[in-house]
Structure 1
């Protein structure tokens, strides 16, 4: 078999492995993503639980990068602390390494079982949760099959005269091998896929254990770069956790490489075979980084904030008023399906503006000036203009003959637009007034009061993002979670109000001065949450999941 054919087969096997890994990841996200996110938010208050939560989520999603991005968004929204986010990512790296270890066992019998069961579950029902479980099973089967294909495709390389030369070169130049492994991992966008590939090749005698350890360290460097690259255009607060992971895992891999090159330790203790030694080296490295990361989580997060701040330019208030193009194409009015798609795009833009307003308003409670207040008010004007344009556009769409589903979607979009405008009005006409009052009178919240208010706002902001997703995806599971979150928020409101009244009873001067602002802000945020939650009702009602005004059990 020619070398080009061998490489073609190997590339195809690797491509299948990458596709299967992504298939499992998307299946888990679609079936259990909202539940996992919700559980993660609730369990990350405790450092140990943060590590365990990150580990479990990485095993479920088969991706430490996905967990890093998710935790980064939580930290950016203020839902979890930065230190807890760092620990969750450390746990995610352990979870990713555990998945790699599990996939090195002989699981060939699972291939037909997973493919058969997964295909039956996917094709025999229209239930979304069962179909996603079927997708997960098929993905697992294809992933195991791809590992067998990699082994078979690499078999001819044993007899290659060029392969020993390449291995000898990289064995003598560990820095180049380290960087190439990092590049491969970045291209794969998966440390699991990269380590499995190297372990499989090592099992065929194509990679020496010593070279494998160097490559594993390179894999960890490449994996730590992925999340910062994917979030380079995100808000500064979201980028802090990925940058912290780069500091710990990326710098750790470089330090470990230097130590390995200097001391040349014997690695026989890592396992009986070359593939075991490579996978176990991957696990050991991440355990060491976890142990080092426990006491350093807070320090690393602060250093990450400073690094992110160095590369972040302050956004001028005027940029919030940037003009955007409209998706309301008049030429599509004769095609209701296309016109509704255009209107959906425009409503999504309104959602984005409202999200910016909701995020900015809490920042103004801490640091406000006339220019920032003016810029936020200008955003409400933009919401009003888009709202009016969307209503007129949808009114023109209704002049055409529409199906029942199209008519319902049209009403749903109009209703969502009205609610978004009302949210904007609450932010500007109510909450911005509180900001001005606090600024004019020079008032300050107590640390406890501000913490309660920030946490309550973070919950509402998270629910807002979930509501916007429901508007686009119309996912009943996400809609149900949003309505359940409304009940949880009611409990949080009671707790925040109770804590506030306790401070008033104790006679805390700051609590007394800011009492009306505190309570009115909680009330306004609760009203915002109720408006956004109601955007889920059409999805639930369509599927018979509402009983009157109450959510059905199930």
Structure 2
């Protein structure tokens, strides 16, 4: 088959193993226990990384917890380091890979994958098979790369740089370590160990994409993880020849264990450094101007623009809520920062509008006051959606695939109308508001169809639907309330 196809199979196998393990119950309970102390984070993070097979996935989860205010910067970084260390143990499993094992797991996984209730186990078993098959093909095809890349005798510093690039590119320290393991005959022990160390640092770059997409906290977490791993990997690189007896697997696991344990005494210092490099921005009104109060028409226009900011924050809350429902990960904590923004801006708009009303006695002040209150209430409703789902998951329950898709479809519909309302509110576009209101009958029919579909699943005796029916109906009703609030706001836009 060849080296590169084998690498593709191995990466796919690692992904499928992680997907298969993702359904294990109790992860949220383990995560809750990890909140207690740094030692708890190390132990629980290591176990969670081992169960998931993905340190990168937990780096992104740590970012979400940091953004939601559940973890401080040091705790989020420590969770990422510990989970990556736990996941690094999977390279030891890869090293055991044989062609016979690959065939065994692939054949065993087929019947479980076909059986709906055993599909997650089937995905895990197929992933194990592909993982072993990919590593076997990589090992057999490694020598074909010798003439192409001329990597023989690669000095440690160059191997470290190649590993850093591969870790960043693949987003998987395990994948790069498995690659180094397969290339030992070609690179030599020292070159393979250096490549492994570099990949363990380069995998921090998985956070660059969230950072570039505007998630400010990702820059903090990226800076801390990259700087810490880089600082403690370089001494290991200097003594790479002395680490040769440990082999690629041993150095891979040791490196991530060193990064985790050395972080503990430095946790507070890293938090301080992160805050200095990326200071927290406080939420404050962008358009409300005290000087504009002397010109009421200008002041009312500025209030409308500020309300547009509040509506955008509510829209972002709902978008996050839909994502949380889709991934079945996360909770209310991820919405706290946005909800705080909604609350603070709403308060400022209300106080500003009250001052305007005192000066002008204009009926518009009342409408803006009502609009601000309505937006704040929508934020509370969105949080309720996530709270209900989070309570369900804490019990080890999940919605049926059809029920989950219905809720996601409803959430996307509400999000679409909320986006149009936010644009209409910010710009005063009455046609946009009127267009959203014109769909009331169609939306009502859609919600009724979802209710009937849920009732049909209950009548057919679907166990998942029976177990989650109260949460399902509560979320559906809450989304209806959000729709009703959006419609009231659209009517207010028509009156402005």
TM-score interval for Structure 1 and Structure 2 normalised by the shorter chain: 0.5 to 0.7
CA distance in 1, matches of 2:29, 2:148: 52
Out of 74-83 and 144-153, give the one that drifted further. Answer: 74-83
CA distance in 2, matches of 1:228, 1:190: 14
Structure 1 residue 266 and structure 2 residue 239: aligned? no
Relative to structure 1, is the Cα distance of residues 131 and 251 closer, same or farther in structure 2, using a 3 angstrom cutoff? same
1:229 equivalent in structure 2: 209
CA distance in 2, matches of 1:353, 1:193: 27
Structure 1 residue 208 and structure 2 residue 188: aligned? yes
2:308 equivalent in structure 1: 321
Of 142, 145, 148, the match for 2:130: 142
CA distance in 2, matches of 1:313, 1:478: 39
Cα deviation code 1:511-548 (max 9, x no counterpart): xxxxxxxxxxxxxxxxxxxxxxxx9x959857354479
Relative to structure 1, is the Cα distance of residues 142 and 303 closer, same or farther in structure 2, using a 3 angstrom cutoff? same
Residue pairs, 1:146-545, within 5 angstroms: 146-157=134-145, 165-168=150-153, 170-171=154-155, 174-202=156-184, 205-237=185-217, 240-254=220-234, 256-257=236-237, 260=238, 265-268=241-244, 270-271=245-246, 277-309=247-279, 316=286, 321=308, 359-362=337-340, 370-371=348-349, 381=371, 423-424=377-378, 463=387, 475-476=399-400, 538=454, 541=458, 543-544=462-463, 545=465
CA distance in 2, matches of 1:378, 1:175: 63
Cα deviation code 1:387-418 (max 9, x no counterpart): xxxxxxxxxxxxxxxxxxxxxxxxxxxxxxxx
Secondary structure, counterpart of 1:166 in structure 2: coil
CA distance in 2, matches of 1:131, 1:423: 41
CA distance in 2, matches of 1:9, 1:313: 55
Cα deviation code 1:236-256 (max 9, x no counterpart): 346543442222223433454
Give how far 1:86 is off. 2.6
Q: Assess if the C-alpha contact under 8 Å between 1:240 and 1:301 holds in 2.
A: no
2:3 equivalent in structure 1: 10
2:116 equivalent in structure 1: 126
CA distance in 2, matches of 1:137, 1:207: 31
For structure 2, the 5+ residue unaligned runs are: 288-304, 325-331, 354-366, 405-450, 472-496
Structure 1 residue 94 and structure 2 residue 85: aligned? yes
Give how far 1:321 is off. 2.0
Give how far 1:229 is off. 3.0
CA distance in 2, matches of 1:372, 1:117: 63
Of 98, 101, 105, the match for 1:110: 101
CA distance in 1, matches of 2:346, 2:468: 43
Secondary structure, counterpart of 1:122 in structure 2: helix
TM norm structure 1: 0.57
TM norm structure 2: 0.62
Secondary structure, counterpart of 2:2 in structure 1: helix
Secondary structure, counterpart of 1:167 in structure 2: coil
Q: Assess if the C-alpha contact under 8 Å between 2:180 and 2:193 holds in 1.
A: no
Q: Assess if the C-alpha contact under 8 Å between 2:13 and 2:127 holds in 1.
A: yes
Secondary structure, counterpart of 2:152 in structure 1: helix
Relative to structure 1, is the Cα distance of residues 264 and 281 closer, same or farther in structure 2, using a 3 angstrom cutoff? closer
Q: Assess if the C-alpha contact under 8 Å between 1:50 and 1:91 holds in 2.
A: yes
Give how far 1:66 is off. 0.3
Q: Assess if the C-alpha contact under 8 Å between 2:142 and 2:183 holds in 1.
A: yes
1:388 equivalent in structure 2: none
Out of 175-184 and 302-311, give the one that drifted further. Answer: 302-311
Out of 362-371 and 44-53, give the one that drifted further. Answer: 362-371
Give how far 1:63 is off. 1.3
Secondary structure, counterpart of 2:187 in structure 1: coil
CA distance in 1, matches of 2:223, 2:389: 24
Q: Assess if the C-alpha contact under 8 Å between 1:191 and 1:219 holds in 2.
A: yes
